Amino acid sequence: MKLYKRQYYLQKIREYYQDKGLIKILTGIRGCGKSCMMEMIINELRWRGNAAVNLIHIDLDQKEFKNVKTAEKLRITIKEKMVPSKDGAIYLFIDEIQMIDGFEALLESLYNEGRYSIFLSASSAYVQSEEFERIFADRYKIFEIFPLSYAEYEGMKDFNNIKKESNPILEFGRYIHDGGLPKVLQCQDAQEKQKYVNGVLDEIFKKDIAKMEKIRHVVYFKQVQDYIIETFGESVSMTRLTDYFRNYVRIPVKRETLERYLELLEKAKLVYRCNRFDIKTEKELQGDQRYYLTDLGFYFAKKTDSKVDYSLIMKNALYMYLRSRDYNISTGRIGKRECDFVLTEYLNVDELPIGPDDFRDVETGSKRKGDKVVAQAVAQNSITERVRAYKAAKGLLDKPLKKQEEAETAEVTKKSKASESDGALTGQRTLANKAAEEKASGGSDAVKRKMRFTKDTEDDEIISEKNPMADVMSQYLDARKQERMADDEDLDTVETMEVDDEIFDEYADVDDADATETEAETAYDESEEYDNADSDAENMDDFEDGKDEKVAFYRYIKFAMTIDDPYREQLEYATLESIRTNSPKFMLTLDSATKEHNGIRHLNAIEALKEEFDFNKI
């Protein structure tokens, strides 16, 4: 059978094919394609000239090996498949190794023979047992396999000549509804797809959870599982969760039991936890977190009503794409505002640049402007200066290097002296005008923001707080089913509106109803400008202690359904604009027309997923 090659994962594994000193472990949720990935590797090894008898594949999920339950029986099975007279390395592939009791000792004996290049797969995190860690320590490498990304989903459809929707929005909607489990594409209709996905859920519980852990109250566990699937992407507080199940669902479950259930769902790869991150202090916050589904097909297979929050759907799709690309992800908070995703890149101190050649432009090969200043800073060979130099080269430096700062200060001083005499002449007139303006507007406390709106009342209703986000998405998707017609006359139907500060702030906090946390967290004034220069200085001192320290660099991502009108645009950009750093910032929406806004890059979310956008290249 021809297999669709998932090149992203194959490229990561290829360099370790012949490494006998490293055990290769493929992990991922059941049904994500680990067995097919092993078949792809076997095909590539065969193509490279390895004899078929030296390629041993044992899938413990298949009926052929249903009686292989112990390590000894597995050893006998392996020996039976070997050809004693055949020389060369043996490539051993074992699927679902966690189903064998005491597999660690068997692996150790095979590893010590020095003839096997071992590949394992597991549908849960239980393969990394304490015994396994003790025996192999740093002699294994994990490759996490995820369900199909949107780009892979489209590629697999093309590979198998499966018809696609002509409308890209509808095609993406089919992807999120069907999910990314590869076998879903072989199902003929929606009923068959739902049956298959629910079957995978049952297998996850029976083979990956109940087999590894003793669950006393299966009904309670499944109620918690269904609740997490239903409320994915929402903020989860253990205090509120415990209260909900004890007082509303009437389940006598303890907080510790709920924490254990959530841990089991994570180990089975059914959900991934996204912790909160305080952007100002650059520290992880304890308490509430979000759980995203590995595959949205589970949500729609369990869904019984028509209410869907498409904003959370999009955020889940974005999160899983970022997770599959090995980004370190958290949910950012700055005051009461929330940044959907904070991507953290860690570099060891010894990986930082040590000379001017490290700052050559990747595309042109020429030195960048300002290399002389950077080189002088690096010449001091201190970790502090190397971190600042790296940030300067990447355009992430919040404040300029010392000599640049002095030059800029001198320039500002020169200009201020030149304009000082002119300012003295116009000072009295300026103050008089300001006083008149304040008097006309009712005083300085009644400061107004001027914003532009269309006169169409229907648009105002769409962005009002009375309508749920699901209605907005539904209207938006319906509107995008046909070509958008640009009408120049619409640009003329605008008026200037005066918006009170209090009203504006009240509207901005509509989606932050959950911002009042039951767990303690640091509160910040909304009007406070964010400047992390002080925290940078403290971090730099820490790095002087040794080269084993790591330096963190950040990227910030916010998702919004649309920013088509000016009011929504200002509201959605407010969070990213409150982060006062030069770190890359991205606004992802479903708008077809994209543009930059004060240095924040605007991307179409669906196109970014389809093109597998690399957020680290910016």
pLDDT of 353 over the 70 cut: no
- For 248-274, the DSSP string reads TS-----HHHHHHHHHHHHHTTSEEEE
Specify the pLDDT at position 127: 76
Is the pLDDT at 28 greater than 90, yes or no?
yes
Taking alpha carbons only, the member of 569, 600, 596 closest to residue 584 is 600
Residue 134's pLDDT is 85
Task: With a cut of 90, say whether residue 388 has pLDDT above it.
Answer: no
Write down the pLDDT at residue 519: 42
Residue 523: pLDDT above 60? Answer: no
Q: How far is CA 542 from CA 22, 59, 221, 241, 530, in A?
A: 34, 49, 44, 38, 22
**pLDDT score, position 526:** 43
On the question of pLDDT at 564 being above 90, the answer is no
- For position 382, what pLDDT does the model report? 52
Task: Kindly state the tokens that stand for 527.
Answer: 């009007």
Which pair of structure tokens corresponds to residue 420?
A: 């000082």
pLDDT tier, 384 (very low <50, low <70, confident <90, very high otherwise):
low
> What average pLDDT does range 396-404 have in this prediction?
49
Quick one: CA torsion of 317, 320, 326, 332, rounded to 10 degrees? Answer: 80
Domains and CATH numbers, the chain: 7-144 (3.40.50.300), 187-305 (1.10.10.10), 346-402 (no CATH)
- Going across the sheet that includes 140-144, the strands are 55-59, 90-95, 116-122, 23-27, 140-144
Per-residue pLDDT tens for 587-618?
999 998 888 888 899 999 999 999 999 998 75
Q: Residue 461 corresponds to which tokens in the numbers above?
A: 């209703």
Question: Whole-angstrom Cα distance, residue 179 to residue 159?
Answer: 18
Mean pLDDT across 197-211: 91
Given a contact cutoff of 8 angstroms between Cβ atoms, the answer to whether 38 and 95 are in contact is yes
Split at pLDDT 50, 70, 90, the class of 386 is low
Highest mean pLDDT among 412-416, 527-531, 560-564: 560-564
**Confidence (pLDDT) at 199:** 95
The structure tokens 């589970």 sit at 298
- Token reading at 3: 């297999």
Rg (CA), the chain: 29
**CA atoms of 55 and 44, how far apart (whole Å):** 11
Which amino acid is it at 522?
Answer: T
| 358 vs 353: CA distance, rounded Å | 6
Question: Strand, coil or helix: what is 93?
Answer: strand
Give start and end residues of each alpha helix (H) in 344-440: 371-378, 383-394, 402-440
- Strand, helix or coil for residue 590: coil
Please determine, for residue 510, whether its predicted confidence score (pLDDT) is greater than 80. Answer: no
Residue 430: what pLDDT? Answer: 44
- C-alpha 514: how far from chain center: 21
Q: Give the pLDDT band (50/70/90) at residue 123.
A: confident
Identify the pLDDT of residue 204. Answer: 93
What pLDDT digit, counting tens, does each position of 309-325 carry? 999 999 999 999 999 99
pLDDT at residue 491 above 80? no
* 336-371 CB burial, b ≥16 within 10 A, e <16: bbbbbbbbeeeeebeebbeebebbeeeeeeeeeeeb
What CA–CA distances, in Å, run from 385 to 137, 371, 381?
Answer: 36, 14, 7
Percent of the chain with pLDDT over 90: 44
DSSP-H helix ranges across 522-614: 533-543, 566-577, 605-610
Question: Is the CB of residue 235 less than 8 Å from the CB of residue 278?
Answer: no
Residue type, 140: Y
pLDDT attached to residue 593: 84
- The pLDDT of residue 69: 87
| Three-point CA angle 577, 580, 584, nearest 5° | 75
**pLDDT(3) > 60:** yes
Let me know: does 96 contact 65? Beta carbons within 8 Å.
no
Strands 283-293, 271-278: pairing is: antiparallel
Coil vs helix vs strand at 529: coil
pLDDT at 314: 96
Q: Is 170 left (phi over 0), alpha (psi -120 to 50) or beta?
A: alpha
How many residues are given for the chain? Answer: 618
pLDDT, position 129? 75
Helix (H, G, I), strand (E, B) or coil at 23: strand
End-to-end CA distance of the chain: 40
Q: Which residue has the tokens 């509106």?
A: 497
Closest CA to 125 of 204, 224, 226: 204
Q: What percent of the chain has pLDDT over 70?
A: 67
Residue 202 has pLDDT above 70, yes or no: yes
pLDDT of residue 515: 42
Residue 136 near residue 112 (C-beta atoms within 8 A): no
Helix (H) / strand (E) element for 276: namely strand 271-278
Provide the whole-model pTM: 0.72
Lowest-pLDDT choice from 299-308, 367-376, 426-435: 367-376
Lowest average pLDDT, out of 176-180, 189-193, 390-394, goes to 390-394
Q: What is the mean pLDDT of the chain?
A: 76
Distances (CA, A) of 228 to 154, 196, 231, 265: 28, 20, 5, 9
Instruction: Select the highest-mean-pLDDT range: 131-135, 313-317, 581-585.
Output: 313-317
Distance CA 345, CA 328 (A): 7
- Determine the average pLDDT of the residues in 119-144: 86
Contact 331, 276 (CB under 8 A): yes
pLDDT tens for each residue of 440-455: 444 434 333 333 333 3
Extract the runs of DSSP E, i.e. beta strands, from 146-237: 235-236
- Please determine, for residue 525, whether its predicted confidence score (pLDDT) is greater than 60: no
Nearest to 27 by CA among 106, 130, 108, 126: 126
Tokens of 448: 């107004």
Q: How far apart are CA 208 and CA 29, in angstroms?
A: 9
Question: What is the spatial distance between Cα 117 and Cα 590, in angstroms, rounded to a whole number?
Answer: 46
